[in-house]
C-alpha cells in the first residue's frame, strides 16, 4: 500500500470517528504528535514490553505507529502531499554531506 493510500485511510477513519467535525487547531494536532513520541520514549524506558493493544508488537512499535497515524491524519485533513514531500526530502538528504550541520548526535 502506498503512503498516500495509508494517509487517505487514516484520515477517513478519523473523520468516521468524529475527530474532524470541527476544524482542528494546528498546534493541538502537532502536540498530539509530540505526545505520541513521549509515549514511545516511555515504552523504551520501560524496557519496551509487548503492546496490550496490538498483540505480537512491542509498545514502542505501537507508539511509533501512533506517531505516523497522527502525522498522516493531519496531512489528510490539511490536504498535504506527504508521500511526494517525503520522496523529495529523501532525495535532498542524499545530497547532504556526512553528519551535516555540525550536530554531535
Structural domain of residue 23, as residue ranges?
3-96
Q: Does 103 or 91 have the greater pLDDT score?
A: 91
DSSP per position, 35-53: HHHHHHHHHHHTT-PBPSS
Confidence (pLDDT) at 101: 78
Give per-residue pLDDT as tens, 12-51: 999 999 999 999 999 999 999 999 999 999 999 999 999 9
Confidence (pLDDT) at 93: 95
Residue 75 lies in a domain: yes
Residue 71 lies in a domain: yes
Q: Please state the pTM of the whole predicted model.
A: 0.91
User: What CATH number does the domain containing 61 carry?
Assistant: 1.10.287.1080
Residue 89 lies in a domain: yes
Question: What cell does 73 get?
Answer: 491524519
Amino acid at each position: 500500500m502506498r503512503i498516500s493510500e495509508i494517509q487517505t485511510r487514516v484520515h477517513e477513519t478519523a473523520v468516521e470517528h468524529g475527530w474532524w467535525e470541527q476544524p482542528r487547531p494546528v498546534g493541538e494536532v502537532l502536540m498530539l504528535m509530540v505526545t505520541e513520541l513521549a509515549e514511545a520514549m516511555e515504552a523504551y524506558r520501560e524496557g519496551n514490553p509487548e503492546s496490550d493493544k496490538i498483540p505480537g508488537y512491542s509498545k514502542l512499535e505501537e507508539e511509533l505507529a501512533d506517531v505516523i497515524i497522527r502525522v498522516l491524519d493531519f496531512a489528510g485533513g490539511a490536504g498535504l502531499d506527504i508521500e511526494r514531500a517525503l520522496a523529495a526530502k529523501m532525495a535532498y538528504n542524499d545530497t547532504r554531506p556526512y553528519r551535516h550541520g555540525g550536530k554531535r548526535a
